[in-house]
Amino acid sequence: MISGKHRPTVLTVDQRAIRHNINHEVKRLDDHSELWMVVKANGYGHGATQVARAALEAGATGFCVAVLDEALELRDAGFTQPILVLGITTPEYAPLMAQRNISATVGSTEWLTAAMTYLQTAQLGRLNVHFGLDTGMGRIGFQTPAELRTAVDYLDEHEQQFNFEGIFTHFATADDPDDTYFKTQYQRWEGFMAQLSHRPRYVHVSNSATSLWHAACNGNLIRFGVAGYGLNPSGGAIQPPYELEPAMGLVSQLTFSKYVEAGRSIGYGATYTTSQPEWIGTVPIGYADGYERRLQGFDVLVDGQRCEIVGRICMDQLMIRLPKAYEPGTPVTLIGSDGNQTITMQDVATYCETIHYEIACGFTARVPRVYQN
C-alpha cells in the first residue's frame, strides 16, 4: 500500500516518549538483567526500525518479533543485536535463522528433529533456540515437564547444530488485579524449571505487564512491549509504577467545511440528519486507514474543542459537526492533545469496546509516520 504523503493525515511518533518509557524500566532491572524491545507488527504500528533505534538509545540490548520476516527486516536495516522470533517458524527456515543469527522459539522435540535435517544439509552454523513453555497461555510450547526433558536431552545430543540460548513462558493475566491464575502459571513454570540440570543464558517470563507488576518473577530478561510505547497493559485497571508517555498521535486537517440547513443527511445510509442548521467539516481519514468505522459518534478535537463524528465513517473520509465556521487546513486531532482537551488511544479503544493494542496496530501503511524528537 502506498503512503498518503500528499494529504494532511499523519501518525506522529514521539521517540523521546519511547526512550522515556524504556529508560525507566531499564533502571528498575537488576544489574544482571536485560531488556529486549518487542517490535513485532511494525513496532505496534509505530515503525519497527525507528522504534528499534530509539530502544537501543534507551538501554535495550535486543529485540523480539513475531515472524521471521520481521527479524530479517531488522537485520537488513543493520541491527546486529540478538533477535528472538516469538512465534513458531517453519523448520525449513532453520538454516536461514542460523545464518542470520536469529533465535528460534521451539515448542516440541518434533520441531527440533525436523530442523535438524535442514541444518545438517546446509551446514551454516548452530541455531540459537529458546524453549517456549505453555504454563497456561494455551498458544504454543511444551505442555509437560516430561516433554521439556526429552527436548533438552535432544539438544544435549546435538550441540553442533543447536545452542540452548533461552527458555520462557508467557502469562495470560499479568495485567489483571486478580493474580490467582498468574500464581497458577508461575507454579507450573517452577515445575518445568525443576527439570533442568543447567539453565540457558536467558530465562524470561516477563512481558510488559509482568515486569511492571510482578517484577520479582523477571528472570534475567524482559520482553518489553506495549508499555514501551507508553500504553498501560491493563488499560487502566492497574496503575504502573511510573508514568508511561504515549508515543503515538494522530492528526489531520479539515479539507472541506460547509453550512447545511436543518433536515440534511450526512454520509452513507443517511444515519445522521441535522436537526438545525450546522457547520459540517470533512476530514481525510477513514476505515481504510485503520480509523474504525464503529467510531461514529466519537469525538475529535478542533481548536481545543470536542467535535462529534456525524454520519458513518467512510473508507477515506469522515464528517464532524463544528461549533462554527472553520477554514480548510484547520488542524484536527484524532489522538493527542489540543488546548486543555486530550483524546488517548485508550479512549478510542474503550469507545470501540476493544484494547488499545488493536487500535495502534490497525493503522495502515497509507497513513505516513512522522518521527519527532
Q: Any binding-site annotation on 139?
A: yes
Print burial letters for 214-253: b (CB count within 10 Å at least 16), e (below 16): bbebbbebbbbbbbbbbbbbbeeebebeeebbbbbbbbbb
Task: Tell whether 315 is in a known binding site.
Answer: yes
Q: Specify the domain boundaries for CATH 3.20.20.10 within the chain.
A: 15-229
Query: Distance between CA 17 and CA 210 in Å, rounded?
Result: 21
Mean pLDDT in each 10-residue stretch from start to end of the chain (373 residues)? 92 98 96 96 97 98 98 98 98 97 97 94 88 96 96 94 96 95 95 92 96 91 97 94 97 97 96 96 98 97 98 98 97 97 97 96 97 95
Per DSSP (E only), the strands in 240-329 are 248-253, 256-260, 265-266, 272-273, 278-283, 299-302, 305-310, 318-322
- CA gap 114, 160 in Å, rounded: 15
CB 337 within 8 Å of CB 331 = no
pLDDT of residue 97: 97
Q: Give the residue range(s) of CATH 2.40.37.10 domains in the chain.
A: 248-343
Within a 13 Å sphere around the CA of 270, how many CA atoms are in the beta-carbon half? Answer: 4
pLDDT tens figures, 112-144: 999 999 998 877 789 999 999 999 999 999 999
Tally of CB atoms within 10 A around 143: 16
CATH architecture of the domain 248-343 equals Beta Barrel (2.40)
CA distances from 203 to 9, 108, 133, 164, 305 (A): 43, 18, 11, 11, 49
CATH class of residue range 15-229: alpha beta
Residue-wise pLDDT for 75-118, tens only, equals 999 999 999 999 999 999 999 999 999 999 999 999 999 999 99
269-302: per-residue pLDDT in tens? 999 999 999 999 999 999 999 999 999 999 999 9
Q: How many other C-beta atoms can be found within 10 angstroms of the C-beta atom of residue 277?
A: 11
User: Catalytic amino acids?
Assistant: 40, 268
Angle of CA points 333, 339, 343, to nearest 5°: 45
Altogether, the residues listed in the chain come to a count of: 373
pLDDT score recorded for residue 217: 86
3-class secondary structure, 206:
strand
Query: What cell was used for 44?
Result: 505496534
Among residues 47, 137, 51, 161, the alpha carbon closest in space to that of 87 is found at 137
